[in-house]
Structure formats: structure tokens, C-alpha cells
Amino acid sequence: MGMMMIGCGDDGSTGDGGECDQGRVRCDGVCIDAIEPTLASIQTGVFNVSCAASACHDASMPQPLESPLDLSSLSASQAGLIGVASVQVPTLDRVEPGDSSASYLMNKILGDDDIIPLGFSQMPLGGMLCQPKIDVIEQWIDGGAPIQ
């Protein structure tokens, strides 16, 4: 199976709903650079702009949890996601390589009410990720959660 490239970002609107240039895809009405289903690419195209930049999941944010999730760098994301039990649902790893449906991260992004405990929010707060971002995270996990 060939490697699919999905893109995410927040600039380059075509304004007319037309096609994006080669190497870019449409995400929330704008054309963005394509990213690959690797943690390094997702770090740059998703986590840095949607998770760590908001000060929700960065190293400087005081965390009330026993195991805070720092998504501010590639090494922090790797250490905090892959094979690490979720604090909210300890029976699920945050990322279970090869199985997005058994990964807490994927269920949290999708807001799966059957998995996420009552009172805990879908992520990110303030609005769902665009479909290309969701798709690339799912593909990354199902592909074994490669770093590069």
C-alpha cells in the first residue's frame, strides 16, 4: 500500500473552492501543505499548531494530572503518546501502534462518547480537527506509529 500524504495548516486559501496546488490539500476551506503519516510530520502539521501552541499541551503549562501530555516537541510527543496508558481511560494506551480504534488519542479526537468518560471533552477544545488531520493521524497509528 502506498504512502498517502494528507495536509493540514491555516494559510493559502484559494477563496473560490478550487483545487489546491500539488503537494497541498484543502483543510477547513484553505489549502495547506501536505503532511505524511509520521510522528515527525504530524508534530509539525498538527500538534505544533493545534495542541502545543494553545498552551494546553506544552511543557510550560502546569498540569493537574499525574501524567501530563506534553506535545510541544517530537521527543515529548513520542515519550508521552506511544505505548503510554491514558490517564482518563487507563485500559487504553494513548497510541496503540497498528490499532487506531484502540488508541485513546484517536477516540479523544473523534469525541467517542462510548470511550471518553462523561465530563471529559473532545480534543482539541474549540472545534474538531479538519478531516485531513484526523485521517493522517488515523493512518499514522494504523501504520504502526512511525517516528520518521
Q: How far apart are CA 71 and CA 51, in angstroms?
A: 7
In 3-148, where does DSSP find H-type helix? 39-42, 74-81, 104-110, 131-142
DSSP E strands in the chain: the ranges are 6-7, 24-27, 30-35
pLDDT at 88: 83
Q: 84 CB contacts (<8 Å, ≥6 apart)?
A: 67, 93, 94, 95
Give CA–CA dist 120/111, Å, rounded.
9
Q: Which of 123, 145, 109 is nearest to 36 (CA)?
A: 145
User: Tens digit of pLDDT per residue, the chain (148 long)?
Assistant: 344 444 333 344 444 567 899 989 898 899 989 889 999 999 988 888 766 555 556 556 555 555 578 888 899 889 989 999 998 888 999 999 999 999 999 988 888 777 776 666 767 667 788 899 999 999 999 999 998 8
Query: What was the pLDDT predicted at 123?
Result: 76
Please report the pLDDT score of residue 134 as a whole number. Answer: 94
> What pLDDT is attached to residue 103?
94
Query: How much is the pLDDT for 65?
Result: 52
DSSP state of 60: T
Number of other residues whose CB lies within 10 A of the CB of residue 142:
17
